[in-house]
Structure 1
Amino acid sequence: MPFNFYAVLVSALVTLVVGFVWYNPKVFGTIWMNETGMTEEKAKQSNMLKVFGLTIFYSLMLSSIMPALVIHQMGALGVFDGNDKNPDFLEFMKLHGDVYRTFKHGALHGAISGVFLALPITAINGLFEQKSWKYILVNAGYWIVSMTIMGAIICGWQ
C-alpha cells in the first residue's frame, strides 16, 4: 500500500476548485463578503500569488494527512509498526487489502473528518472572533465539502 502522491497532489487542488464555486457570488460569496466585511476593492488589493501559493501549500499539508483519516489500511500498517514486510501485515493485506478502498467510502470518511475537525475549529475561531453563524457555516461547509472530495480521491485512487 504505497503512498499515492498523485492522489494527494490532485486532492490538494480540490480546495481551489471548490473555493472558486463555493465563494462565487451566486453561491455563498455574497453572504461571505457581507459577513466578513470584504469588498471587491479590498479583494483586489490582495497579493493573489501569495494567497494562492499559500493555499496550495496548506492544502498539500491537509491532503498529506488525509490518507491516515480515510484509508483503513493505514491504521493497520500502524499496528505492525509501519513494517509493510511483516508477515502478519502481509497476511492481513491478503485478507483485507482493498476492503473499503472506494471513492464512496473515502467521501464518507472525508465528510466525517470535515464535520469533526473543520467544523469545530471554524466554529471555535468564529465564536471568539464574534462572527455570525452564517460566517461559521459558510466556512465550515466549504471545508466539509472540500474534505469530502479530498477523501474520495485519496481513498478511491489506487
Structure 2
Amino acid sequence: MEPNYLAILVAAIVPIILGFIWYNPKIFGTAWMRAAEMTEEKMKGANMAVIFGVSLLLSALLAFFTIFLVVHETGVYGMTEGQLEGATTQAFMEEWAGKYRSFKHGALHGAMAGIFMVLPIIGINALFERKSWKYIFINAGYWIVTLAIMGSIISGWTA
C-alpha cells in the first residue's frame, strides 16, 4: 500500500487552517487567550515563521501517523511484515481491503483519536499546569475536530 502523499500534504495543512478559524478572537481566540494566560505582548514577541514552519512539519508527521489510525490494511501489512503472498493473507485482503476507506470512517477514527488520546494528554498537562477546564476543552476540541478532518482526508483519499 503506497501512501497517498497528496492526501498527507492536504491533511498536514488542516491544523493551520483550522487554527486560524478556531483561535480567531470571534470564535475561541479571546477565551483561549484568557485561559492560557496569553497576552498580546507575548504573541508579538514570537518568531512566526519558525512557529508556522515547525508546526507544518509536525502536522505532516501527524498526518502520516493518521494513516495507521484510519486505514486498517496497515495492520495487515504490519502483521505480515509486508509479505502478502500467503493464501490466508490474500483471501483476507480480497474480502476486506478498502471496505472501510471512506471520509466518514476516517472522520470517526480521527475524532476517536482526539477524544481518547489527545484529550487525556492535554487534560493531564493542563491539570499540572493549573489551567482551567475551559483551556482543556478549547484545545482538546480543536484537536478532536482537526483529527476528524485529517482522518477523513487520509481515509477518503486512499480509497
TM category (shorter chain) comes to over 0.9
Runs of 4+ in 1 over 4 A off after TM superposition: none
| 1:42 CA drift (Å) | 2.3
In the alignment of these two chains, the number of paired residues is 158
1:126 aligns to what?
126
Superposed CA RMSD: 1.3
Aligned-partner SS, 2:27:
coil
Could you tell me whether the CA contact under 8 Å between 1:80 and 1:86 is conserved in 2? no
Q: Would you say 1:22 and 2:4 are equivalent positions?
A: no
* Most deviating of 56-65 and 128-137: 56-65
Could you tell me whether the CA contact under 8 Å between 1:114 and 1:144 is conserved in 2? yes
Tell me how far apart the structure 1 counterparts of residues 2 and 83 of structure 2 sit (CA, whole Å).
12
* Most deviating of 125-134 and 76-85: 76-85
Specify every segment of 5 or more residues in structure 2 that has no aligned partner in the other structure, as ranges: none
User: TM-score scaled by structure 2?
Assistant: 0.94
User: TM-score scaled by structure 1?
Assistant: 0.94
Tell me how far apart the structure 2 counterparts of residues 49 and 153 of structure 1 sit (CA, whole Å).
26
Following superposition of structure 1 onto structure 2, how do residues 106-117 of structure 1 map, counting pairs within 5 Å?
A: 106-117=106-117
2:138 aligns to what?
138
Q: Would you say 1:10 and 2:6 are equivalent positions?
A: no
* Most deviating of 120-129 and 63-72: 63-72
Tell me how far apart the structure 1 counterparts of residues 85 and 122 of structure 2 sit (CA, whole Å).
40
Tell me how far apart the structure 2 counterparts of residues 64 and 9 of structure 1 sit (CA, whole Å).
9
State the identity as a percent.
51
| 1:7 CA drift (Å) | 1.1
